[in-house]
Amino acid sequence: MGDGQRKITDGPPADPDTTYRYVDMVEIAGWFGITHRAVANWRSRYADTHPFPEPDVIVGRTPGWSQERKSEIETWAAGRPGPGAGGGRPRKL
């Protein structure tokens, strides 16, 4: 998929004695002391210039990431553009 889009396909069932656990935007928000809405904004706001790591799973419409990717997500957050990046409204004088 050379256009930057990930292939999304139905996942296989878990083994009978296994339940897979993923973290959602609420839990990721807790890592940073922000709201889950802020994480959702990160995913959309920086999609073109600094895309948020793609989820490992989607349940219904809810994305989920493996707990093992916490450091990857923290690295992404540390590298995101700071306040005022991209312009915005000029300061009042």
8 Å CB contact between 67 and 74? no
- Three-state helix/strand/coil letters over 7-72: CCCCCCCCCCCCCCCCECHHHHHHHHCCCHHHHHHHHHHCCCCCCCCCCCEEECCEEEECHHHHHH
Read off the pTM.
Answer: 0.78
Instruction: Provide the percentage of residues in the chain whose pLDDT is more than 70.
Output: 85
**pLDDT confidence of residue 93:** 67
Q: What is the dihedral of CA 73, 79, 83, 89, to 10 degrees?
A: -100
Q: Measured at the alpha carbon of residue 46, what is the angle toward residues 42 and 51, in degrees to the nearest 5?
A: 95
Average pLDDT over residues 16-29: 96
